[in-house]
Structure 1
Amino acid sequence: LYPSCLKFINRVLKKTMFTRNGALVLLLVAVLFRLGSCERLRDRSYYKLPQAAFSACVRRFNGTHQAGCSSSLGGNVGRLIFADTAAELDGLSRDDTADAVLAVPAELFALQAAKLHGLPGGLQGLLVLYSESERDFTFDFAAKTGVNISEDSACPNDRLSAYRGSRGGSCSGPQASPAWNAAGTSAALLDWSFPVALVTKSEQIFTLKNCTQRESSLRHCAIELRTPMHGAASSVTCLRRPQYTSLISALTSISQLMHFCGPMGDLSLVWTASSTAMPTNTVRAPASVMLILARLDSFSMFASNSPASGTLTPAIAVLLAVANALASSSNGTTGRDVAIVFVNGDSWDYIGSQRLVHDLHGNQLLGESGQPARINASHVHSIIELGELSNLESMDQLAAYTDPSVYRVVNSTVDSHVKSLGLKSDALISDRKLPPASTQTFLRPPGSKESAPLQPVPALLLTDHKRDQGFRNRNYNSFADLRPTPSGVVQTLATLADRIATLASQFLTNSSAAKVDDNLLKAYVDCLQGDATCQHAISGANVTKSWLDKVYAATNSINGLIGAYVYEYQSRFLPNQGGNHLRYLTYLLLSNATGDIVPGVTKRSDCLALNTANDTVSAGLPVFYDLTSVSGASNNVSGVCLRLSLTALPAVSPIDSSDYNAWSGSGDFSTWTESQWETPTVRLFMRPTRSWGAAHLLFGVAVLLLSLQFVLGAKHGLEANFPVSVAP
């Protein structure tokens, strides 16, 4: 069982053959100790793919069904086969896929996701090959392969859109545009009957292909996918299961309930421009707060490979630049405020915006100790949301969507905003339903009847896709959403950011003092896309590349690409750690964009002491922000202490986890949950063919029969030669 130790054992035995008993015992103990570090033959038979080389598809649930993938508890094993083209895939028979694991290139998966999902014949697993040469900001997957891939549906989040029910949804019925996400395959929303993994390293892809070239008539290349998920069926079933395990706990010595799944969610970030002038106990005036929104999350069926440079990066960069411009100008005392909101979780039926609206209408948004003054629904003056902007090469391409029924009531405010933004009249689209966006949730708050009119809140959605055009990002919500932001687009983003900052400044102080730093905006874009020039986005600090490396390491970046996936919500989440990695980086940038340096405080311990009274980091209190070490810094390290006015708020469904009827999906809130899972593994090995395995079995049976015959014959001979006498 330990072939790597045979030479060592042989050497020891030669030395101990003629030694005294005491020395022999000591050396035998040494042999046993050495055996503990030896490699087992079983382990030598497998090649285990490194964790960094692949990402497994995980299981998720909503109120009615399950989506995603899972292996059996012991793992799925099958012969490794390849299909590089559609013709090869069409040529696979049921016998070919039976007891097999199929490997396909990412382009074929994008084109044939539905067919791969329905492959017959007992397929044991699927590998999607997507090497790092294709996962780079210089590589535009859709442009260079001619293939579009979106793992979301053609009409994202339609189940809980503002137009659900009698209004026909966002993509159908009167005043609807065609499918917004034409490249949508719904791959991440399907229930796959076998495990799926994305292999992302060229070395491991070469190893997989080389393995099949070593096959012979006696053995073939096999692979084991072990990605078991603990949850099953639906959110209701999964959340209810711990009740049944409580009976087992009562009858056994197991004291801890099993955990199968939990609500998906993270943290949303809110910064208010007038936080100093409007402390916690301030009572806001009606229609005194302008909300400016951008999304923070994306998804893929492969949780750890969910970048969103095309979908999210431009909007986040613009909003960061606007926040910095407003923070750098005078706040004034007009009684008005601007709230910069980064909404998290909205890829999953608007988790984050639903929670914000729920708190708005419940008079629970902000207002806690150390936070800015409370905001409720009556305080909202207007909403501006930044949607997809990755293809905005000129301001003439910008589209401003507003709901037709709402526009008829509040057209004067909407028209004023459009004029302040310097848009042409044809840029305003007021005769079409809104595209999928967080703004929809604000127009139709939870609890309102389907037939009730939408809330008359002046709301604009700014995007780069015109009337009836659909999303221009053809890799929306997918593992391939890595589109670089061209320099021409960055220049347009700077213009847009400056106009939004001017509009917000005029609303806030009746002046246009806020000006956007164009270089800073470019730095934000570079930083969010993993470029080392991220250091220029951190003002007033000597940020080194080693610090940036730690940032990207802490955010689980992939070749410097920041993931934007929302995992199961944890109440212990802090804004500077855990959960959505893009939110983590955005928090760091927003802290530097809006925070005030505390004079004379340079040590971590002194800065943390300022939090003692309320003992919280997420409530917008003075917090230590260390520019030389992201995590694990000692209390004596020197850095910058920032007094922050930004707040991290829970972005999780308001439904009580024990209210199973509400989790059935019949209500107004997102019911997405995520399964617990163990560390996934992918192992490669050579397996005998069935004929060769049968031959081994028959040989073993023959040896067993011969051995039995020999033993029985020897026993008979002994009894004949040495009869056993029985005492009288």
Structure 2
Amino acid sequence: MASQVTGKPATLLRVLALSAAFLLAAGERVKNKIYDEIQGDMPCFKRFNGTHEIGCTSKFFGNTGVLHVIEEKADFDWVYEHGPHQPYVLAFTPLFLTEAVLERARDSGKVSGVVVVVPEDFDPETQLLDGFSGETECPDDYLGLYSASSNPNYSGYCRRKPWNPNGTSMLYTSWEFPIFLITNQTSVDNIHSCFEKFNKPVNGMPRDWPLCSMELKSNMFGTTNSEVCMRRASIGPLSTDNFCDPLYDYNIWGTLKPMNMSEEIPEKSVIIVAARMDAATMFDNISPGANSAVSGIVTLMSAAAAIFKHKEEIINTSNKNILFILFQGETWGYIGSSRVVWDMEQGQFPYKVKDDVKDQIAQINLTHIDYFIELEQVGQAMTSSQLYLHTDPISNSNSEVKEETDNLLEIFENASDLFDKLNLIPVKEEVPLPPSSIQSFLKRVNISGVVITDHEGEFKNPYYESFLDNYRNVKYEAYSDADLYHKHITNIASLLATAIYKLATNTTKKIEADPELTNELLYCYMKNMTCNLVQENGGDMAKYMESKPAKLYVSVENGERERSYVTMYLMAWLLGDEVKRDQQDCKIESIYNMSQFYYYPRAGNGTCVQSTVRMTDAMSPAFLIDDYDWKSGEYSTWTESGWKLTKVMIFLRPSVLEEVAVVCGGVVSLVLSVIVVHFMNSRADLLFGLSTPPAAC
């Protein structure tokens, strides 16, 4: 027989095993008592282009520091000159979010991280009198039309008269320590409460341990620049983590008339109506872009819906077609528009020719473009009712283009006469275009076009490309009888639709957009993407929307693009005709087909819509060209770093001596435990009165 351990030693082993299990289980509870996890889903993160890196990162295991809440400028001096408990994590409101503050923190050697707290009662209009923009003073200037111009009046214009005077360039700076945005009021209260109780100096004197501390985790995998980062990713599967990914999303577009490959498209027969669809901030998960993007998106969609009601009139009286398009990635070097231009030059817009596809959609190239109308920031003209028409002085030096441009301006001015509350002002001919997608086209072809904005010179938007460019910035009051904003956007959409109708048919007709539709769209994009309009007409991806404003960051190939699919379904609904097909038959044979089919399960058996709307890739041509010169400045080279986890935790930290004492005590306890267990095991027969079991037969 084999020997067995019985009696008290077995009982002892069971007790030890149960004790160990208890300690392991209790360890998790102890951790939960030590650390209080607060909002950590809005970190500043790393991005790269062909020459350098920007953004923020923490160390691999996170950055830890003693919390110090900044309430006035003197608090910074206290930390840097008198604070004895470095490193510190600084917490302050957007009032102190300036380039000088972050540079001093980075260079001091006493700061390991920053949290920007935004209390519910924070009012940027009264507390940020000068505005705040993380963008540069000359957005996208390095990849724009005028960067390589031989005329110094154009190439140096923005340096003399910045479009974005509130620009700080903080979005394009490498900070090398974590920065988090915290908007959750409970988390904001926890930070202030912990600081007041344990850390706030008394009569200028520092408090003693324990001290309230924070741990910020946002370790980024990418490094150096896009060329290095992409090369590391192509070496092989050395890691399951992505070093970086190209910025990538989809352009959403559709035409008024279907375009069949079998029918030749006449030259100069396509009127492009465009707006951009993306915005940016320093932080992840928040990019509202109320004026920088949403004002143009909603105006375009509302105008498209209004003009579509007159589709048959245009088809019967004109050979013109209208292409409505929302460009993605324009914030990061005109990614979407430059990709469309590149595809047109390659003979593959929207797709390459497929011999085996019936009713394939026709290809469009640069020769087909007649006019280009673009909506940039238009939301902050509500009080003045003044809109500005910008044109390109370089292309207008061509007499034929100049004549067409003058005709375009005249059509808009005549259309504005039909709407009492709008005043259109052409900008001086010698002034170059503001940042706009049409510049990608004008770099390749001379076309007549206009960019419609709410500013003549510098931006009226004080929070361009920041988390404060939200519905408050444009004074939108959802579903309020007192709201003037949706009426303002509706008027612009009506003006746009009226001008388009005139361009297409050479006939004047006042076309009015639907104010209810405009209001719904504004509410969805600026306040709540779980709105009824999105849930009913946003397709399968609508169920993934959150009750928050739309996230308008361009993202990466495997990133969050639900709002792109939702926008495509909304556009298809606005530019589509209901057809009698059940859900099973409401599908396309191929994305290359002239028309697409969309199913909307709103009520009963649902609705099937036939539309021309679709999406095409919005990724920079730089990532498609073999041996592309990353430093050439021809195309955008922006990539985004990969990361696994972002987290912010707050906890009480004892003094260093106490931490050392605890560690040493633990080591001594471990050694004594090993000695005691070894002694008891070797003397088990004496201690527990057991005899040696008989040997096996």
The CA RMSD measured in Å over matched residues stands at 3.8
The residue correspondences of 1:635-674 to structure 2 (distance < 5 A) are 638-656=605-623, 659=626, 661-662=628-629, 664-674=630-640
Q: Secondary structure at the match of 2:315?
A: coil
Query: Is 1:66 matched with 2:53?
Result: yes
Report if the CA contact (8 A) 2:58-2:177 is conserved: yes
Task: Report the equivalent of 1:633.
Answer: none
Give the CA deviation at 1:326: 2.2
CA contact (8 A) 1:392 1:489 kept: no
Letter in 1 for 2:328: N
Letter in 2 for 1:354: S
Deviation at 1:34, TM superposition (A): 8.5
Q: SS in structure 2 opposite 1:322?
A: helix
Q: Tell whether the 8 Å contact from 1:325 to 1:516 is kept in structure 2 after alignment.
A: yes
Contact 2:389/2:425, CA 8 A, preserved across alignment: no
Answer whether contact 2:138 2:159 (CA < 8 A) is retained. Answer: no
> Which amino acid letter does the alignment assign opposite residue 647 of structure 1?
R
- Correspondences of 1:164-179 after superposition (within 5 Å): 164-167=147-150, 173=156, 178-179=161-162
Measure the CA separation in 2 of the matches of 1:562 and 1:71.
27
1:504 aligns with 2:500: yes
Q: CA deviation at 1:108?
A: 1.2
C-alpha change, 1:39 and 1:701, in structure 2 (3 Å) is closer
User: 1:599 — aligned with what?
Assistant: 580
Superposed CA offset, 1:383-403 (max 9, x none) = 111011111126851110111
Aligned AA for 1:588?
A: Y
1:14-36 CA deviation, whole Å, 9 max, x = no partner? xxxxx999999999999999888
Matching residue within 527, 538, 542 for 1:530: 527
Q: Counterparts of 1:464 and 1:24 in 2: how far apart (Å)?
A: 81
Aligned partners of 2:530 and 2:545 also within 8 Å = no
| Alignment CA distance shift 1:589-1:143 (3 Å) | farther
Match of 2:397 among 396, 408, 418: 408
Structure 2 residues without counterparts, runs of 5 or longer:
1-6, 199-206, 417-422, 477-482, 678-697
1:332 aligns with 2:315: yes
Measured against aligned partners, the alpha-carbon deviations of 1:124-167 in whole angstroms (never above 9, x if no partner) come to: 11111013555xxxx6x335642411111111111101111354
Q: Using the alignment, how far apart are the partners of 1:618 and 1:474 within structure 2?
A: 44
AA in 2 matched with 1:678: K
CA apart distance, 1:670 = 0.2
Q: Deviations over 1:208-248 (max 9, x none)?
A: 122223436231111111111111010011011134455xx
CA contact (8 A) 1:564 1:580 kept: no
Runs of 4+ aligned structure 1 residues displaced above 6 Å come to 19-37, 168-171, 547-553, 697-711
How do 1:436-515 and structure 2 match up within 5 A?
436-445=435-444, 455-466=445-456, 468=457, 470-482=458-470, 483-486=473-476, 487-512=483-508, 514-515=511-512
2:3 alignment partner in structure 1: none
Q: How is 1:239-278 mapped onto 2 (pairs within 5 angstroms)?
A: 239-245=230-236, 258-275=241-258, 278=259
The percent identity for this pair of structures is: 26
Question: In the TM superposition, what is the alpha-carbon distance from 1:414 to its structure 2 partner?
Answer: 1.5
Aligned-partner residue type, residue 481 of structure 1: D
Once the two structures are superposed, residues 254-282 of structure 1 have per-residue CA deviations (whole angstroms, 9 ceiling, x without a partner) of: xx76531111021011110111xx32332
What is the distance in 1 between the residues matched to 2:276 and 2:136? 18
What letter is aligned with 1:523?
E
Deviations 1:176-209 (A, max 9, x none): 7611111111111110110111111111111112
Tell me, what secondary structure is at the counterpart of 1:78? Answer: strand
2:655, 2:592 → 1: CA distance? 60
Deviations 1:275-302 (A, max 9, x none): 1xx3233221111111111010001111
How many residues align? The count is: 635
Say yes or no: does 1:223 pair with 2:214: yes
Task: Indicate yes or no: 2:89 matched with 1:101.
Answer: yes
CA shift, 1:324, in A, is: 0.8
One-letter code of the match for 1:412? Answer: E
Secondary structure of the 2:367 match is: helix
Q: Name the structure 1 match of 2:295.
A: 314
Whole-angstrom CA distance in 2 between matches of 1:562 and 1:268? 16
Q: Secondary structure at the match of 2:42?
A: strand
| Distance change (3 Å), C-alpha of 1:62 and 1:95 | farther
**Which is worse superposed, 166-175 or 490-499?**
166-175
Determine the C-alpha separation between the residues in 2 that align with 1:665 and 1:564: 27
Q: Distance in 1 between matches of 2:506 and 2:376?
A: 27
Q: Which residue of 1 aligns with 2:184?
A: 201
**Amino acid of the residue matched to residue 563 of structure 1?**
K
User: How much has 1:170 moved relative to structure 2?
Assistant: 9.3
Letter in 1 for 2:330: D
Normalised TM-score (structure 1): 0.78
Give, in whole Å, the separation in 1 of the partners of 2:380 and 2:601.
35
Counterpart CA distance in 1 for 2:70 and 2:626 is 46
Of residues 28, 47, 52, the one that matches 1:40 is 28
Distance 1:696 1:83 in 2: 32
Cα offset for 1:658? 8.2
Distance 1:477 1:184 in 2: 9
Indicate conservation of the 8 Å contact 1:100/1:124, yes or no. Answer: yes
Aligned partner of residue 382 in structure 1, secondary structure: strand
8 Å Cα contact 2:569-2:598 kept in structure 1? no
Q: Aligned pair 1:587/2:568, yes or no?
A: yes
Range with greater deviation from structure 2 (435-444 or 159-168): 159-168
What secondary structure is seen at the aligned counterpart in 2 of 1:429?
Answer: coil
User: What is aligned with 2:420?
Assistant: none
Task: Tell me, yes or no, if structure 1 residue 519 matches structure 2 residue 516.
Answer: yes
Could you say which residue in structure 1 is the equivalent of 2:648? 682
CA 1:42/1:372 → structure 2, altered by over 3 Å: closer, same or farther?
A: same
Alignment of 1:105-254 (within 5 A): 105-110=93-98, 112-116=100-104, 118-134=106-122, 141-142=124-125, 145-167=128-150, 173=156, 178-215=161-198, 217-245=208-236
Q: What code does the residue aligned with 1:153 have? A: T
Q: Please state whether the residue corresponding to 2:363 is helix, strand or coil.
A: coil
* 1:113–1:549 distance in 2 versus 1, CA, 3 Å: farther
Tell me, in whole angstroms, the C-alpha distance in 2 between the residues paired with 1:427 and 1:405: 16
Q: Please give the per-residue CA displacement for 1:514-565, whole angstroms capped at 9, x wherever unaligned.
A: 5422332233222322269954x58xxxx78xx99997762345xx211111
User: What is the identity, as a one-letter code, of the residue corresponding to 1:300?
Assistant: T
Answer with 509-518 or 587-596: which moved more. Answer: 509-518
> Contact 1:151–1:478 at 8 Å: present in 2 too?
yes
* 1:294 partnered with 2:275: yes
Q: Is the 8 A contact 2:146 2:155 kept in 1?
A: no
Give the conservation status (yes or no) of the 8 Å contact 2:48–2:54. Answer: yes
Structure 1 residue runs without a partner (length 5+): 1-18, 250-255, 446-454, 571-577, 629-636, 712-728
2:426 matched residue in structure 1: 427
What is the distance in 2 between the residues matched to 1:623 and 1:588? 7
Aligned-partner Cα distance in 2 for 1:315–1:50: 35
CA distance in 2 between partners of 1:91 and 1:224 (Å): 22
CA distance in 1, matches of 2:646, 2:282: 14
The answer (yes or no) to whether the contact 1:526–1:533 under 8 Å persists in 2 is: no
Q: Give yes or no for contact 2:360–2:593 (8 Å, CA) kept in 1.
A: no
Q: Secondary structure at the match of 2:503?
A: helix
State the SS of the aligned residue for 1:462. Answer: strand
Q: Does 1:305 align with 2:280?
A: no
C-alpha deviations, 1:300-337, integer Å up to 9, x for none?
A: 11121111112122211110111112221114153221
Matched to 1:267, the amino acid is Y
Compared with structure 1, are the counterparts of its residues 532 and 479 closer, same or farther at alpha carbon in structure 2 (3 Å cutoff)? closer
Show the counterpart of 1:379: 368
8 Å contact 1:267–1:648 — kept in the other structure? yes
When normalised by structure 2's length, the TM-score is 0.81
Code of the aligned partner of 1:484: V
1:148 alignment partner, SS class: coil
Deviation of the 1:679 alpha carbon: 2.0
Shift of 1:425: 8.0
Distance in 2 separating the partners of 1:497 and 1:297 = 20
Find 1:562's aligned residue among 550, 554, 579: 550
